[in-house]
């Protein structure tokens, strides 16, 4: 056996474990995406009471919230992203020779993964105020700040967020589909077909939730949200 073959064999367990870890990170973060979009969809509901604000308040009242965010959101996202980049760099698509649907889905999974890295960085950074006060999210005034964020530019509500939600929901649903095969949960073709329909339904439902969130935020007024200067002035007066 050649030295190259020995190296390949010895590295196989590490590769297998890394792939499983990356898949598990994607499953956890994919579940978060589905819940996140479902919560955001409550923006379409009425303002009296403010259902979205109620959901945000429930989330921020959770004990050890920072620990939950780090272990259930950011760590799985980091693992999935880092190894995903490795897979993208070393992957060899063959759609030019075999134009099957699953081969195209393989390519689309990689394309949407790259796009999502940029979108998630912008979304998280904007919500934390990295790109200015206008995009910053205030969980004490969740509905108003979400509306202000989305209305900061027509590009956000018309292009960036619709495409970001489309990429995220496709990547999530297709990732769930392939993960079930990788973990040996859907071995037969019938099982894969049934799971495929469920993943398609998940994609449609979560995408709809995302679109409802955009419409809900866009139709809300944001005059109730004070600027940082106004909040500081109010604090001084008090």
Domain assignment present for 12: no
Domain assignment present for 6: no
Give percent of the chain with pLDDT exceeding 70.
84
Mean pLDDT score of the chain: 87
Position 228 scores a pLDDT of: 45
Position 119 scores a pLDDT of: 98
Tens of pLDDT, residue by residue over 165-181, are: 999 999 999 999 999 99
Position 89 scores a pLDDT of: 85
Side-chain half-sphere exposure of 219, counting CA atoms within 13 A: 13
Tens of pLDDT, residue by residue over 45-89, are: 977 889 999 999 999 999 999 999 999 999 999 999 999 998 888
Position 114 scores a pLDDT of: 95
> Model confidence at 222, in pLDDT bands (50, 70, 90)?
low
Backbone phi, then psi, for 129, in 5-degree steps?
85, 20
Domain assignment present for 10: no
Position 88 scores a pLDDT of: 85
Which DSSP letter does residue 100 get?
-
Domain assignment present for 36: yes
Tens of pLDDT, residue by residue over 83-119, are: 999 888 887 766 555 557 888 898 899 999 999 999 9
Position 102 scores a pLDDT of: 80
Position 98 scores a pLDDT of: 53
- CATH code of the domain covering residue 64: 1.20.1300.10
Short-list 179, 190, 210, CA closest to 28 = 179
Short-list 63, 45, 64, 68, CA closest to 55 = 45
pLDDT, average across residues 107-133? 96
Quote the domain boundaries for residue 188: 18-237
Domain assignment present for 52: yes
CA distance 112 to 20: 20
CB 224 within 8 A of CB 50: no
Domain assignment present for 108: yes
Position 2 scores a pLDDT of: 40
pLDDT, average across residues 206-218? 97
Highest mean pLDDT pick, 42-51, 150-159, 226-235? 150-159
Number of domains into which the chain is organized: 1
Domain assignment present for 101: yes
> Model confidence at 11, in pLDDT bands (50, 70, 90)?
low
Position 9 scores a pLDDT of: 42
Domain assignment present for 179: yes
């Amino acid at each position: 056996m050649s030295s190259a073959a020995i190296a390949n064999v010895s590295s196989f367990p590490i590769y297998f474990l890394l792939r499983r870890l990356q898949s598990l990170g994607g499953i956890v973060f994919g579940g978060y995406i589905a819940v996140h979009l479902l919560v955001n969809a409550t923006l379409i509901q009425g303002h009296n009471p403010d259902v979205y604000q109620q959901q945000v308040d429930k989330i921020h009242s959770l004990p050890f919230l920072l620990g939950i965010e780090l272990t259930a959101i950011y760590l799985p996202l980091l693992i999935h992203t880092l190894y995903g980049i490795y897979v993208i760099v070393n992957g060899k698509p063959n759609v030019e020779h075999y134009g099957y649907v699953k081969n195209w889905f393989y390519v689309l999974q990689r394309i949407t993964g790259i796009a999502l890295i940029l979108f998630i960085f912008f979304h998280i950074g904007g919500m934390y105020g990295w790109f200015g006060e206008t995009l910053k999210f205030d969980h004490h005034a969740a509905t108003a700040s979400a509306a202000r964020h989305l209305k900061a530019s027509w590009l956000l509500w018309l292009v960036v967020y619709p495409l970001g939600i489309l990429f995220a929901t496709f990547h999530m649903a297709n990732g769930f589909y392939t993960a079930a095969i990788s973990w040996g949960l859907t071995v037969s073709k019938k099982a894969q077909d049934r799971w495929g329909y469920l993943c398609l339904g998940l994609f449609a439902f979560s995408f709809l939730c995302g679109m409802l969130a955009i419409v809900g935020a866009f139709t809300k007024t944001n005059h109730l949200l004070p600027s940082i200067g106004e909040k500081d002035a109010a604090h001084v007066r008090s």
